[in-house]
Amino acid sequence: MKSGHPPAPTSPYEQDLSRRVLDCEPDAPDAAAALFDSRQPQTLTEAVRLVSPNGEITPAAFECLARAFDRYWHLRDMPCN
């Protein structure tokens, strides 16, 4: 989505991805990458809005989300080899 805010995840799969990020599960970076790839948040604020309907954004969850978004942001425009 290029304009406005990406809608909150609605499918059970996307909700599961959001909860994994919020719970800082070991696969949280991969879960976030899958969610971000499909919803394409343009800012960290949009990324937070993607997962916040599915649980509380604790300091630990925010840190996990921020690291995952940083990874996504750096990798999203890299050319494929």
Collapsing DSSP to helix, strand or coil, 66 comes out as helix
Predicted pLDDT at 53? 86
Q: What angle do CA 68, 73, 43 make, to 5 degrees?
A: 90
Predicted pLDDT at 7? 63
Amino acid at 58: T
Written as tens digits, the pLDDT of the chain (81 aa) is: 444 555 665 789 999 999 999 999 999 888 988 999 888 899 999 999 988 888 889 999 899 889 889 988 887 777 664
Single pTM value for the model: 0.77
Query: Token pair of 63, please?
Result: 């840190």
